[in-house]
Amino acid sequence: MAAPNWTQAQVLAQLDSGMHWRSSTITYAFPSTSSGIYADGEESGFRPLNTSQQSIARLALAVWDEATAASIVPGSVGRSDIEFGYTSTAIGYAHAYYPDVGSVWFNVTEPELVNPIVGEYGFMTYVHEVGHALGLEHMGDYNGAGSWSPSSYQDSAVLSVMSYFGPRGAAAIYSSQVMQADWQAANGNTYSAQTPMLNDVMAIQAIYGASTTTRLDNTVYGFASTVDGATGAIFDFRRNPYPVLTIFDSGGIDTLNLSGWSTPSRIDLHAGAFTSANDMTNNIAIAYNTTVENAVGGGGNDVIVGNDAANALDGGTGNDELQGQGGNDTLTGGAGNDIIDGGTGDDTAVFDGVFALFTVSAAGNVVTLTSAATGTDRVSAVERFRFADGTRTLTDLSPTADITAPLLSGLSPADNSANLSVGTSFVLTFNENVKAGSGSLHIWLTDGSLWRSLAVSDAIQVRFNGTSVTLDPSANLPANGGYYITVDAGAVADAAGNDYAGFSGAGQWNFSTSAADTHAPQVIALTPADEGTGASTRADLVIQFDEPVSAGSGNIVIQKGVTPFATMAVTDTSRVRINGSTVTINPSADFEQGASYNVMLDRSTFKDAAGNAFAGATAANWNFVTASAPQGDDYPLGPETQGQLGSTGSVLRARIDGPSDGDMFRVTLTAGVTYRFDMMTSSGIDPYLVLYGQAPGYELVAFDDDGGPLAKDAQLYYTATEGGVYYLAAFDNTDTYGDYGIAAGMPSDDYLASTATSGKVRTDGVISFGNITAPTDSDMFAATLTGGTQVTFDLRSAGLANPFLRLFDAQGKLLAADDSTGAGNDAQITFDVPATGTYFAAAADYDTGMGAYRLTAVLRNLVPGGSGDDALTGTHGVDTLQGDDGNDRLQGGLGDDIIQGDAGIDIAAYAGAASRFVLQHRSTDWVITDGTGGTGTEGRDLLHGVERVHFADRHLAIDLDGHAGEVARILGAVFGPASVADPTYVGIGLGLADGGMDEAALMQLALDARLGAGYSHAALVDLLYTNLAGVAPTPDVQALYTAALADGTYTPLSLATLAAEHEINLANIGYAALQEQGLVYV
């Protein structure tokens, strides 16, 4: 029997174990003893991870961290969320514990796990087990060894690393019933997933949210990759030539570049689609919520399929097929005989060479272009053709270019029509598609006086649609009058730009209007009917008039008996919809069951085209009774439910009627609007809310158990991506029953999250205050900036948990983002203004927090250096010191400064003693703060590209990734760990390294200084081993290494370098601590 095909909701339900980390920060650690990790029989066989295994574990964590909004960071042993260990007891192949335990265990006897390699099954196991530790279940109800069957077609390692099934050799079990792929490369090896796969990314983001900061810039994946950091080697196909991975990206204009392969590739840029490359199939996926705009093929005969974004597709060499799909695409076939299909949108095909080098033939929208250099290309559905000497349109390339003006083929109403309604629209029909040209259409009285001129640029009164032009004057024509219409020459043109000649004078299009209409609109039907019973509690109210109507003035009032239920202005288009003679009224809240209602309408609430007003209705004209509550269940758990919620926040009372009951409510959402849903109780139930999407899929959107303000209450927020009817389900989480209240509302918003915001921020440090009122809320502030200046934006918490700051240009394009560059957990962006104009700073919470914040902007004083050795001093204000090239000395002085060293060996200088300052090393910079919280005179400085820090009483080397690290490692291995704490030794080494001596020469000099010229192999081994191990080597160990030196396995220099970089040496010298506090030297 074939495995079933699951929906995304079913996949999520399977993968989500229900056990999650509650904090948005998840920590990990590598304990050195079994006491630092949870164990259930594994502890007796415990082995710690070595340095290389820890690196692999960090990489496995990083590929999950990039996908999720949660932050996965190092923690301390015994207090972290996730710990790693190897064991030889109580273990199969590998296993992990769900949150809140999180321990990950590997079998120390399995070679693939002891020496895991990216792309092989051992590394995929690391990724799989981390998935468990984050709360993911297997893709089926199985665990460990056994005779298992796949749960579904989606139970495949192609879609999820949490599956046991998949391609032969790449997963634990092969099954023909699941999604397939060929991950055997041309070298004969079969590769495994190197990242979470498509459904893993979907599931982990459903639990913790999607990252909004992963590669926000314009990123290249593949060849010429720009991905840096821990995962850079995975997404660089020069270093990882056999990729099996999923691409997740938070923003920017991104490119998938497969130009390094000469075998055919099939690239599909759609979100959720797979690409096949380098002799493998379905080996590169794009996450469901990721847009990759561009693609580059290689030397094979490639197929490249775009998406609905504006794609740039480049086939490279070979006979390629490019499909632009939606969007305004740029398509380059390259050398070879290519097939190019632009799809929808305004597309451009690019050719190498001037137009005269090509032979062109065209038939309809299909163009064939041939040149000796690039071959023959067949191009369809492309609007523009770019050559080296200019761009031509499809019309330009047609042998039968359109040079004929459009011809008028019909008028409506016809010429000489009489007794027309004063609200009549007028239609001109042509023999081809037309567009607005330049000019107007004029309506004249028969006496020759002008009544109206309608410019063709007025899209409200003049509408172009295909071959027709519709005139719809904004005012009614006077009744019982005679008229004629004229059209300016050039007011209408065809697609090729040929102008219609127009017509003038009274003889072309004449008509007259009828006598004045004095008949007021009358009601001919009501729904629910007057005196009707059994009306639905979620019914809209519908009025059918005897003629078309429009909104007038006044209110519609609904009463329950004599108690007001809803009052709405007839002009409220969100609740009163008019379509011709039909009016639909949405009360925005459910009627009560078994209750009597009446509807009253003010006089003049509606009017006809002549302005005649509806007489209105009293409480006696429209009465109805709603259906009584069904026995046993107030609201069914299904889309046929009678329950309906408005979005005003009003509470609807309902009841969980039994241990297995659930209630469903319809709720109409507007795209782009954030809503809050609450389920509250004072009874014994534990509210649980689930939001489902629109028909027909009803896909799971969001859920919550205890997110409300009171214990057990449920609350969730959702920003609708599409408008329409959604379904909110209410449950009890403890199999009990009782009463509850449920509501849907829209949180208040002080500032818009768009460039239409009223918020403003000045650049003089004046504070702008705001409040994040929903997890997805974001507030924008406009700032007027001057080109060539530098401005720092500071977002500080005044209750907001984790401030997140973004900067946009006037078009809404993201320019920069930051989470924690500011003090503590605050956010800060320093921006070099490229051009004078309006920019927008957006304040939000990085996770789902809410609360108040303070936003400031300050104009920085720029102090530039040159190409030489500069001595730069800041002012009493906020400075940016830019050292540029050379060995610079930079002293910021008072205020919060940015000290940018750039090339050379640069010094940040401070006037006070070191004890006054607090140093913090972050991933890309250092923060030096004078006094607690930056209250000292020298403020809080950010250091970039600085190697040395000089205080009044101490010098520090902070480039542990450069010369300082080299010196520390060499000193530890050659002179012993204690020498690293000797400022004189360190100073000598730094002087040599900074003066140009490379690491190998410095090591050799250290060996010669320590052992003397002509030292023996035995002396070298004794020295290195004693410094690392703390004891002399045994005779066997010494013999082993001296033999390796004698036979050339090692040279003295390579053995000493190995010792310097060994994890024992790094531990002896406290290398990790040095990276955080610097190396003291004189």
Task: Encode 970-992 in three state secondary structure.
Answer: HHHHHHCHHHHHCHHHHHHHHHH
Q: Is the dihedral of CA 30, 34, 39, 41 positive or negative?
A: positive
Q: What's the confidence (pLDDT) of residue 446?
A: 92
- Summarised one tens digit per residue, pLDDT across range 231-249 is 999 999 999 999 999 999 9
Q: What type of residue sits at position 103?
A: S
What is the C-alpha end-to-end distance of the chain, expressed in Å? Answer: 77
Q: What average pLDDT score do residues 389-412 get?
A: 82
Beta-strand ranges (E) seen in 258-393 are 266-268, 274-275, 284-286, 294-296, 303-305, 312-314, 321-323, 330-332, 339-341, 348-350, 359-363, 366-371, 375-380, 384-387, 390-393
What distance in Å separates the CA atoms of residue 675 and residue 747, rounded to the nearest whole number? 7
Nearest 10 degrees: Cα torsion 935, 936, 938, 939: -10
pLDDT at 686 over 90: no
Q: Which two tokens stand for residue 287?
A: 């996450």
**Residues noted as catalytic:** 129
Q: Please report which helix (H) or strand (E) contains residue 817, including its range.
A: strand 814-818
Q: What average pLDDT score do residues 965-987 get?
A: 95
DSSP secondary structure letters along 31-100: -SSGGGS--SS-GGG-B---HHHHHHHHHHHHHHHTTBSSEEEE--TTT-SEEEEEESSS-SSEEEPPTT
What distance in Å separates the CA atoms of residue 999 and residue 1057, rounded to the nearest whole number? 9
What distance in Å separates the CA atoms of residue 766 and residue 829, rounded to the nearest whole number? 16
- Comparing 263-272, 701-710, 882-891, the range with the smallest average pLDDT is 701-710
Q: What average pLDDT score do residues 727-755 get?
A: 85
Helix ranges restricted to H, 376-486: 394-397
Q: What's the confidence (pLDDT) of residue 629?
A: 56
pLDDT band at residue 603 using 50, 70 and 90 as cut-offs? very high
Q: What type of residue sits at position 1035?
A: P
Q: Which residues contact 982 (CB under 8 A, 6 or more apart)?
A: none
Q: What average pLDDT score do residues 517-542 get?
A: 84
pLDDT band at residue 373 using 50, 70 and 90 as cut-offs? confident
Domain spanning 301-397: CATH 3.40.50.150: no
Give the relative orientation of helices 999-1011 and 1052-1061 as an angle to the nearest 10 degrees: 100
Q: Which two tokens stand for residue 592?
A: 């009560």
Own/partner pairs, 231-234, CB within 8 angstroms, 24+ separation = 231/59, 231/62, 231/63, 231/66, 231/195, 233/118, 234/59, 234/63, 234/118, 234/194, 234/195
Q: What type of residue sits at position 792?
A: T
Q: Which of 761, 750, 749 is nearest to 839 (CA)?
A: 761
pLDDT at 360 over 60: yes
Could you tell me the CA-to-CA distances from 637 to 562, 652, 729, 769, 883 in Å, in that order?
A: 33, 16, 7, 44, 67
Q: For residue 772, how many other CB atoms are within 10 A of its CB?
A: 27
Q: Which two tokens stand for residue 544?
A: 């059918």
Q: Which CATH superfamily is domain 865-953 in?
A: Serralysin-like metalloprotease, C-terminal (2.150.10.10)
Q: What average pLDDT score do residues 74-81 get?
A: 93
Q: Which two tokens stand for residue 761?
A: 């921020």
What distance in Å separates the CA atoms of residue 363 and residue 1070, rounded to the nearest whole number? 75
- Summarised one tens digit per residue, pLDDT across range 183-202 is 999 888 999 999 999 999 99
Q: What's the confidence (pLDDT) of residue 314?
A: 97
Q: Which two tokens stand for residue 514?
A: 């009828």
pLDDT band at residue 93 using 50, 70 and 90 as cut-offs? confident
Q: What's the confidence (pLDDT) of residue 626?
A: 83
pLDDT at 144 over 70: no
Q: Which of 62, 70, 63, 73 is nearest to 29 (CA)?
A: 73
Write out the CATH class of domain 523-626. Answer: mainly beta
What distance in Å separates the CA atoms of residue 697 and residue 330, rounded to the nearest whole number? 34
CATH number of 408-513: 2.60.40.1220
Q: What type of residue sits at position 65?
A: D
- Summarised one tens digit per residue, pLDDT across range 734-745 is 767 788 999 999
Q: What's the confidence (pLDDT) of residue 534?
A: 72
pLDDT at 146 over 60: no
Q: Would you call the peptide bond into 528 cis, given omega within 30 degrees of 0 as the criterion?
A: yes
Question: Considering the chain, what percentage of its residues have pLDDT values greater than 90?
Answer: 64
Q: What's the confidence (pLDDT) of residue 631?
A: 55
Could you tell me the CA-to-CA distances from 262 to 285, 396, 976 in Å, in that order?
A: 20, 36, 53
Please tell me which of 208-222, 381-395, 422-436, 577-591 the model is most confident about, judged by mean pLDDT: 208-222
Q: What average pLDDT score do residues 614-641 get?
A: 83
Q: What average pLDDT score do residues 962-987 get?
A: 94
Q: Which two tokens stand for residue 730?
A: 């209410």
Q: What type of residue sits at position 375?
A: G
Q: What's the confidence (pLDDT) of residue 402?
A: 66
- The residue with tokens 């065209």 is 362
Judge whether 301-397 and 523-626 match in fold: no
Q: For residue 243, how many other CB atoms are within 10 A of its CB?
A: 24
CATH number of 8-211: 3.40.390.10
CATH topology of domain 768-858: Jelly Rolls (2.60.120)
pLDDT band at residue 516 using 50, 70 and 90 as cut-offs? confident
More confident residue, 837 or 149: 837
More confident residue, 274 or 937: 274
> Which phi and psi angles does 135 have, rounded to 5°?
115, 10
Spell out the SS3 assignment of 520-561.
Answer: CCCEEEEECCCCEEEECCCCCEEEEECCCCEECCCEEEEEEC
Span 659-744 CATH architecture: Sandwich (2.60)
What distance in Å separates the CA atoms of residue 926 and residue 1072, rounded to the nearest whole number? 15
- Comparing 97-106, 158-167, 694-703, the range with the smallest average pLDDT is 694-703
Q: Which two tokens stand for residue 98?
A: 């769900």
Across the beta sheet with 563-569, the strand order is: 532-535, 623-626, 596-601, 555-560, 563-569
Q: What average pLDDT score do residues 980-986 get?
A: 94
Q: What average pLDDT score do residues 532-561 get?
A: 87
What distance in Å separates the CA atoms of residue 114 and residue 310, rounded to the nearest whole number? 46
pLDDT band at residue 161 using 50, 70 and 90 as cut-offs? very high
pLDDT band at residue 833 using 50, 70 and 90 as cut-offs? very high
Q: What's the confidence (pLDDT) of residue 902?
A: 87
pLDDT at 697 over 80: no
Q: In the chain, what are the domain boundaries?
A: 8-211, 301-397, 408-513, 523-626, 659-744, 768-858, 865-953, 963-1081
Q: Which residues contact 678 (CB under 8 A, 6 or more apart)?
A: 651, 708, 713, 714, 715, 741, 742, 743, 745
pLDDT band at residue 355 using 50, 70 and 90 as cut-offs? confident
Residue count of the chain? 1082
